[in-house]
Amino acid sequence: MDALRFIGKRLLLMIPILIGISILTFAISNTIPGDPARLILGPKATPDGLEALREDMGLNDPLYVQYGRYMSGIGQGDLGKSTYSQRPVVDDLLRYSPATIELTMFAMFITLIIGVPFGVISASRKDRIADQFTRIFALIGVAMPAFWLGLLLLLFFYLKLGVLPGSGRLDGGMSPPEYVTGMYTVDALLAGNWSVFYSAFMHLILPGITLAAVTVGMITRMTRSSMLTVLQSDYIRTAFAKGAPENRVLYGHALRNGIMPVITLLGMAFGHALGGSILVEAVFSWPGLGQYAVNAINYLDFPAVMGVTMLIAVMFIIVNLIVDTLYFFIDPRLKHS
Amino acid sequence: MNFKNQWSKLFLFLIIAVLVLAGCQNYSEEAEGTDSPEGTAAEPNENFDADVFNFATNQDIPGLDPHGSAANTTFRVIYLMYDRLVTYEGSSTEPTPMLAESWDISENGLEYTFHLVEDAKFHDGSPVTAEAVQYSFTRAIDVGKSAAGIFSKVIDKDSFEIIDDYTIKITLKEPFAPFISTLGTAFGNIINPALEEDHGDDLGESVLAETEMGSGPYVLESWDRGETMVMKANPDYWGEAPTMETVNIRFITEASTARLMLEKGEIDLIDNTVISPEVLGQMRDTEGIEVVESDGYQIDYMPMNTEKGALADVKVRQAIAHSINYDALLESVYLDQAERIGGAVPKGMFGFSEEAKLYEYDLDKAKELLKEAGHESGLTLEIAISDDSEVRSNTALLLQSDLEKVGVTLNIKTYAWPTFLDLVTSGKHDFGLVSWTPDYPDPDYNLWYFAHSSSKGPGFNLAFYENSKVDSLLEEARTSTDEALREKNYMEIQNIMAEEVPYIFVAQPKLEAPMRTWVKGYELNPMNSWYVPFHKITKEE
């Protein structure tokens, strides 16, 4: 019950946060000098045409009127029409966001399965060669620009070895699976189409690794330092003293207590990966939200910019809500307090 | 920390250093193409497919509406999905018959009668008739976007008279010499009038944002936004059958990635705007890759705001023109793949002026002119550039160091494109740097935009230049059908402008596009540099 009440409260809190974000984004994007109508029409436009389009787009109204109109649209599930693609922003988001979500989830998966074990190994072998190796590995991951790493991986695995594909989400000539979630790997599995699944998965690997490099580094370092503290506690010494197997002590006893700060950081890392995906998407021509957002900004496509910002904000809030909820299940003390 | 640990650290560091260096080494070998053992051209390339063409561009396609879009990436695909009354083929900039087999022009240059081919069919099987022609131009004007900017000067809803199914007469409001040329632009594409049923409240704009309704050699097969657009050859095409069965337009945002994919053979041709001149130089030597070159009608120029501060004084503008080391600029920024011109009409086009004065690089003359203008103690000016071109930012840097020598401090301000556009069209700049390519091969295009006083600011007269003599010469030339008179006027305009220097035409660059050597029959069009005749290209290994 406590958990439910907690979740309900957090969901309610989302509303003022989102309103705040919408006001900020709306204000900032509208203070960028530049005229969206002018960009749509180009230099060949007639002044009459320009004025008519401005009127049509509602650009002549005061800002608060434009904002009010936008918000009342949102209330009805209408995010407006993209001035760049001439399509409803909702359709565009449904088209572009699954690619980003799929990539980000995959990167988080890599982060979990590599980052946590590396951190544990690093802590349990403190100052030994395995520790040095993982620490350098983590440092490189955090320090290396994603852009550069992406290109290096492409050069090696795509151009030299030719074992992994270079760009996009599927092999050329392959048509995407029927739209269910928009995530090709999931949709291909649902449709039972193995060749599409294989292609989609192979295309995920390089961008996934590139995106995960930073977050793996973050998680490894956090797991290591958190585990180091836990490993010095009395109960761990006792466990070792009574002869419990090392892996059981490390992963059963120590990690359980050491994982709390790591989970908090995972929520942060998710946000980081969402932001980082813009660069990674560019290198791997991944048709996701990042690409869409960059286009939207270049064309002063305000409805699209607003849509992307709101969506990312919602995703970030939800992930952090999930993380906070996880505490209830991992840390029994919270249930009683 | 014990002894062993320090050694292991050192060891690890060395391994990493070696790996990184090895990576760099391999890359530059590959890039320079020195006898790399896995060179892709010598052995059969697994990615070769004679029926499928893979084209890479870094510009997404916003939509497919011929009347609503001004993006080159849109032009490229709709030029092949639709037909026009006339068209520009291959590397030619002369309009040739397409849907219009022939046409008659009345003596006074007002009435154009077009005779249409009778076997052209839209992709839904309906015939392309005079009604479709009328519908298309009327819609262009109603939509009121880019296409209207071209056509509404001379035609309106009442300009059309359908004589029979395949004959249409268009009467202009006033004579407009380049009219036939404008019909060959992507704005002149003929749309299936069946669209009228889906007009909705936006004249069918949201329909044409996603699909095509043309009669061209290719049909839209599928479109994954931001990833790939697939076009298939139209089996019922009324003209010559297209050579390439499938065309994939692939969006590769990052130039380096596109380059790798070309080296690998997964891409056949990269959009000519993607790769910088410097990298193209490196690619020239790669096995299996060829850089196609052509003269282009693009001009890179620097408007000087004649309505603002010191630049309002013609002496200052002349001084600036004298203080630029043009040869060094062409050599170091354009790697000699460009020429310098004196006027706004590119070399190779009707109306190009050999005589328009080219200012010499003469620092003493420049200093003297500045002194006469009362700026011997120096001057601080600003140049605005957009952040999307390496060539422009390098040009600005070079200008900065050149002007420094005559005591002019040049501050470079870099803006995102929308902000840049807003700044220069509202006249808040001193200098700007812009690239410009005409849509149709007539001097009226460039000169009207650059020099007519009605085009100031938003109309792209970015120098805010005003000269009543130039205005009347432009108006006379636009409405005259006398080629000799038009040419004389355009020469005179360019001479006046060379004297008053509202603009410095820095360079007319060559067009260059990297492609696989197995691509045959591709030539860049100097004007429509975005045009790739997929229906005429072949691939031969």
Q: What is the 3-state secondary structure (H, E, C) of B454-497?
A: HHEHHHCECCCCCCHHHHHHHHHHHHCCCHHHHHHHHHHHHHHH
Is residue B421 within a helix (H) or strand (E), and if so which, with residue range? helix B417-425
pLDDT band per the 50, 70, 90 thresholds, residue B10: low
Give SS3 for B140.
helix
Shortest Cα–Cα distance, A166 to chain B (Å): 7
Position B39 scores a pLDDT of: 42
Go through chain B and tell me how many residues it has: 541
Higher pLDDT, B506 or A87: B506
The Cα-based distances of B413 to A318, B307, B387, B437 in angstroms read 41, 19, 9, 24
Cβ atoms of residues A119 and A269 within 8 Å:
no
Cβ atoms of residues A103 and A229 within 8 Å:
no
Q: pLDDT digit string (tens) for A218-238?
A: 999 999 999 999 988 898 888
Shortest Cα–Cα distance, B83 to chain A (Å): 22
Q: pLDDT digit string (tens) for B504-536?
A: 999 999 999 999 999 999 999 999 999 999 999
35-94 of B, contacting A, C-beta below 8 A: 38, 52, 54, 60, 62-63, 65, 68, 70
Position A335 scores a pLDDT of: 66
| B84 token code pair | 């026009």
Identify the residue among B20, B212, B228 best suited for mutation to test binding to A, counting A beta carbons within 10 A and taking the highest: B228
Residues 6+ apart with CB under 8 A from A294: A278, A282
- Report CB contact under 8 Å: A42, B253: no
Cβ atoms of residues B130 and B190 within 8 Å:
no
Mean pLDDT, rounded, for B27-45: 45
Q: Can you say how many angstroms the Cα of residue A200 is from the centroid of all Cα atoms in its chain?
A: 18
Mean pLDDT, rounded, for B51-55: 95
Is residue B86 within a helix (H) or strand (E), and if so which, with residue range? strand B86-87
pLDDT band per the 50, 70, 90 thresholds, residue A252: confident
- Report CB contact under 8 Å: B227, A287: yes
Residues 6+ apart with CB under 8 A from A9: none
As a whole number, the mean pLDDT across chain A is: 87
Q: Which residue has the tokens 């045009």?
A: B531
| B97 token code pair | 């018959």
Q: Would you give the DSSP letter of residue A160?
A: I
Nearest 5°: the CA angle B209, A36, B178 is 70
Position A290 scores a pLDDT of: 87
Position A168 scores a pLDDT of: 86
How crowded is residue B367: how many other Cβ atoms within 10 Å of its Cβ? 18
Position A212 scores a pLDDT of: 94
Q: What's the CA dihedral at B254, B257, B258, B261 to 10 degrees?
A: -160
Q: Would you give the DSSP letter of residue A33?
A: S
Residue closest to B261 by CA, chosen among A158, A153, A171, A280: A158
Closest residue in B to A280 (Cα) is B254
Is residue B409 within a helix (H) or strand (E), and if so which, with residue range? strand B408-415
Is residue B264 within a helix (H) or strand (E), and if so which, with residue range? helix B255-264
Position B27 scores a pLDDT of: 35
Q: Chain A within 8 Å of B417 (Cβ-Cβ)?
A: yes
Kindly tell me if the per-residue pLDDT of A242 is higher than 80.
yes
Distance in angstroms (rounded) separating the CA atoms of residues A286 and A207: 8
Mean pLDDT, rounded, for B45-51: 86
Distance in angstroms (rounded) separating the CA atoms of residues B527 and B520: 21
Position B9 scores a pLDDT of: 59
Distance in angstroms (rounded) separating the CA atoms of residues B384 and B197: 47
Residues paired with B87 in a beta bridge: B96
ipTM score: 0.81
Q: pLDDT digit string (tens) for B381-391?
A: 999 999 888 89
Kindly tell me if the per-residue pLDDT of B42 is higher than 60.
no
Distance in angstroms (rounded) separating the CA atoms of residues A92 and A337: 45
Residues 6+ apart with CB under 8 A from B155: B137, B141, B170, B172, B173
Residue closest to A102 by CA, chosen among A174, A215, A203, A219: A203
188-247 of B, contacting A, C-beta below 8 A: 205-206, 209-210, 222, 224-228, 246
How crowded is residue B224: how many other Cβ atoms within 10 Å of its Cβ? 18
Q: pLDDT digit string (tens) for A307-328?
A: 999 999 889 888 888 888 888 7
Instruction: Look at A56-60, B154-158, B450-454 and tell me which has the smallest mean pLDDT.
Output: A56-60
- Report CB contact under 8 Å: A175, B222: yes
Mean pLDDT, rounded, for A277-293: 88
Q: Chain A within 8 Å of B437 (Cβ-Cβ)?
A: no
Distance in angstroms (rounded) separating the CA atoms of residues B478 and B433: 27
Mean pLDDT, rounded, for A171-183: 84
Percent of chain B at pLDDT exceeding 70: 92
106-145 of A, contacting B, C-beta below 8 A: 127-129, 132-133, 136, 140
Kindly tell me if the per-residue pLDDT of A81 is higher than 50.
yes
pLDDT band per the 50, 70, 90 thresholds, residue B229: very high
Kindly tell me if the per-residue pLDDT of B37 is higher than 60.
no
Q: Chain B within 8 Å of A205 (Cβ-Cβ)?
A: no
Q: Which string of b and e fits B435-449 if b means at least 16 CB within 10 Å?
A: bbbbbbbbbbbbbbb
Percent of chain B at pLDDT exceeding 90: 72
Instruction: Look at B211-215, B417-421, B433-437 and tell me which has the smallest mean pLDDT.
Output: B417-421
| B361 token code pair | 């690089």
Instruction: Look at A39-43, A233-237, B63-67, B193-197 and tell me which has the smallest mean pLDDT.
Output: A39-43
Please give, one letter per residue, the 3-state secondary structure of B321-345.
Answer: HHCCCHHHHHHHCCCCCEECCCCCC
pLDDT band per the 50, 70, 90 thresholds, residue B5: low
Kindly tell me if the per-residue pLDDT of B494 is higher than 90.
yes
| B77 token code pair | 């695909």
Distance in angstroms (rounded) separating the CA atoms of residues A302 and A83: 8
Instruction: Look at B83-87, B124-128, B253-257, B524-528 and tell me which has the smallest mean pLDDT.
Output: B253-257
φ and ψ at residue B50, rounded to 5 degrees: -65, -20
Kindly tell me if the per-residue pLDDT of B54 is higher than 70.
yes
Distance in angstroms (rounded) separating the CA atoms of residues A314 and A18: 8
φ and ψ at residue B340, rounded to 5 degrees: -100, 140
Higher pLDDT, A116 or A86: A116
Distance in angstroms (rounded) separating the CA atoms of residues B85 and B406: 53
Give SS3 for B300.
strand
Q: Chain A within 8 Å of B25 (Cβ-Cβ)?
A: no
Kindly tell me if the per-residue pLDDT of B349 is higher than 70.
yes
Residue closest to B430 by CA, chosen among B506, B321, B317, B325: B317
Position B78 scores a pLDDT of: 96
- Report CB contact under 8 Å: B12, A282: no
pLDDT band per the 50, 70, 90 thresholds, residue B17: low
The DSSP string of B3-30 is: HHHHHHHHHHHHHHHHHHHHHHHHHHHH
φ and ψ at residue B488, rounded to 5 degrees: -60, -45
Mean pLDDT, rounded, for B166-183: 94
pLDDT band per the 50, 70, 90 thresholds, residue A336: low
Mean pLDDT, rounded, for B486-507: 95
Kindly tell me if the per-residue pLDDT of B28 is higher than 90.
no
Mean pLDDT, rounded, for A272-295: 87
Distance in angstroms (rounded) separating the CA atoms of residues A107 and A279: 14
The Cα-based distances of A295 to A39, A83, B224, B414 in angstroms read 12, 11, 16, 18
Q: A38 contacts in B (CB within 8 Å)?
A: 421-422, 425, 458
B434-436 β-sheet, strand order: B338-339, B503-509, B299-303, B434-436
Go through chain A and tell me how many residues it has: 337
Q: Chain A within 8 Å of B493 (Cβ-Cβ)?
A: no
Q: What's the CA dihedral at B132, B138, B139, B144 to 10 degrees?
A: 160
Distance in angstroms (rounded) separating the CA atoms of residues A157 and A172: 18
pTM of the model: 0.85
Q: pLDDT digit string (tens) for B394-411?
A: 999 999 999 999 999 999
The Cα-based distances of B160 to B114, B135, B182, B192 in angstroms read 11, 10, 17, 17
Position B34 scores a pLDDT of: 39
Mean pLDDT, rounded, for A32-49: 75
Position B305 scores a pLDDT of: 96
Shortest Cα–Cα distance, A229 to chain B (Å): 19
**Rg of chain A taking only CA atoms, in angstroms:** 24
